[in-house]
Amino acid sequence: MFLFKPKKQEEPKAQVVSKANADLEIITKMNQEFASSLDLNETLNTALKVIIERINAQAANIFLINEKIKKFECIASLHQDYLDEYQLDLKDGVMGKAVEQKKCIRVGDVRKDVREIANFYFDLDNKTNFTTFSVLCSPLIAANECIGVIHCLNKKTSTKLFEEGDRQLLETLSAPAAFAIRNAKMAKEMIEKNKIQKEVEIVGDIQKSLLSKNKKEDFPIAGINIPAKVVSGDFYNFSDLGDGKYGFGVADVSGKGIKSSLLMSKASSLYSCLSKTNFSAAELLIQLNNEICETISRGMFVTMLIGIYDSNKKELLLSSAGHEPPIIFSKDGTFTNYNESGPPLGIMPKTKYTEHTIPFDNSSMYIFTDGITEIKNPKGEMLGSEGFQNYIKKYKDKPNNERLKIIIEDILNTGHIQKDDLTIVVIDGNN
């Protein structure tokens, strides 16, 4: 007598083709829906709804990898509560194994699995008021990078257990979901970056408004500031004090970026306010230094030169806090420097500064920041003080409200590469 095992019943071919076509239709639909939205939350929710329905799962969630802290973070969940309160180690549970092996993993029955997996889910169930019977977990891989996992829990059948076909299906569905989530994540980061960039531009606009405007009419002082980036660490200010006197200040904040630009804005605002009532250059630097020392970050400082031009007495009152020595171009074509200086602002409170009066008639004084003299040509050679003096001579006959712009344009047009803020203020003592 022969015994034959009955053949395993196979699904009719037409039924298999029909399921394959249905899955292809779902994937196509997912791709279309994902492509129409770059909103990360919308993309995540769409992915979960499509997958949980097709897999016939009781619950599903998406964990993304936070690279900074090396943890799984749940950023979308359906039908399992409180997961957003937890950060999981990258080696935890079946999620850690899915990422490590870069393949979709099925735990047919959690209670029959190895203790490590079972204990992980028992612990998580206690925290989320959920009972896990079976698990599918597929890594989200886009451009060869694993960005997280899709995690499905409990099939909605009497056994509550997933089968091998479910694993293969989730593996198939997770590919378009991974690319969609990656694109939405990149779009979100780009939006945040653009938002920050917009805020930086606003800071730049505010800074520009703090600079004095050049006069079209005959006026002894003019200035220019060309930031290397959107924001600047340099500033200048000048004003008519009346009775033929004119006040001016030029400063350069150490470092670059937002931090320096914020310090620049503070120093500029303080100068604009205090210079209206304090007409001693040295006393003004003392006040500014004490104020800046109270809040300045460690390692930062401000160089500054303050002065008052008295057109009646034909003299300059000057006081410097570590600033570049200004260049004085005399009527006989010679150049000299004002070299007297105290320490930069923000280094030591209660520092005493001195001021000096110098004759100033038929001359021009150029106050500038180091971006001018340290600018380099393609050979790496700095312009230097002598190079700057050549441009001063070249355009000495131009009106001061045009002269500085022409000087900087000529410097840049001759191949010098700007990597720092360019700031110049000129005082003409022959008006």
Residue 35 confidence (pLDDT) above 70: no
Lowest mean per-residue pLDDT among 72-76, 127-131, 208-212, 317-321: 208-212
Where are the domain boundaries for CATH 3.30.450.40 in the chain?
17-189
SS3 letters across the chain: CCCCCCCCCCCCHHHHHHHHHHHHHHHHHHHHHHHCCCCHHHHHHHHHHHHHHHHCEEEEEEEEEECCCCEEEEEEEECCCCHHHCEEECCCHHHHHHHHHCCCEEECCHHHCCHHHHHHHHHHHHHHCCCCCCEEEEEEEECCEEEEEEEEEEECCCCCCCCHHHHHHHHHHHHHHHHHHHHHHHHHHHHHHHHHHHHHHHHHHHHHHHCCCCCCCCCCEEEEEECCCCCCCEEEEEEEEECCEEEEEEEEECCCCHHHHHHHHHHHHHHHHHCCCCCCHHHHHHHHHHHHHHHCCCCCCEEEEEEEEECCCCEEEEEEECCCCCEEECCCCCEEECCCCECCECCCCCCCCCCEEEECCCCEEEEECHHHHCCECCCCCECHHHHHHHHHHHCCCCCHHHHHHHHHHHHHHCCCECCCCEEEEEEECCC
Whether residue 342 has pLDDT greater than 90: yes
Q: Does residue 310 surpass a pLDDT of 50?
A: yes
pLDDT digits (tens, 9 = 90+) for 166-193: 998 888 888 877 877 777 777 777 777 7
> Where in the sequence of the chain do the CATH 3.60.40.10 domains occur?
200-428
Reported confidence tier of residue 313, pLDDT bands at 50, 70, 90: very high
Q: What's the rounded mean pLDDT across residues 7-31? A: 54
User: 121-135, 195-209, 307-321, 328-342: lowest mean pLDDT where?
Assistant: 195-209
Residues 211-234: tens digit of each pLDDT: 788 888 789 999 999 888 766 788
Q: What digits encode the pLDDT tens for the residues 47-99?
A: 788 888 888 999 998 898 988 888 998 888 888 887 876 788 888 888 888 99
Q: What is the pLDDT of residue 431?
A: 54
* pLDDT surpasses 80 at 109: yes
Look at residue 160 and tell me whether its pLDDT is greater than 80. yes
Which one is predicted more confidently, 238 or 228?
238
Each residue's pLDDT tens digit, 373-404: 999 998 889 999 999 999 999 999 999 989 99
Q: Give me the pLDDT at residue 9, please.
A: 52
> Tens digits of per-residue pLDDT, 254-267?
877 777 777 887 88
The pTM assigned to this predicted structure is 0.59
What pLDDT does 16 receive? Answer: 46
Q: Could you report the per-residue pLDDT of 398-429, keeping only the tens digit for each?
A: 999 899 999 999 999 988 988 888 999 999 99
Which CATH number among 2.60.120.480, 3.40.1710.10, 3.30.565.10, 3.60.40.10 corresponds to the domain 200-428? 3.60.40.10
Task: Among 3-7, 29-33, 55-59, 265-269, name the one with the lowest average pLDDT.
Answer: 3-7
Q: Report pLDDT for 41.
A: 74
The CATH superfamily of 17-189 is GAF domain (3.30.450.40)
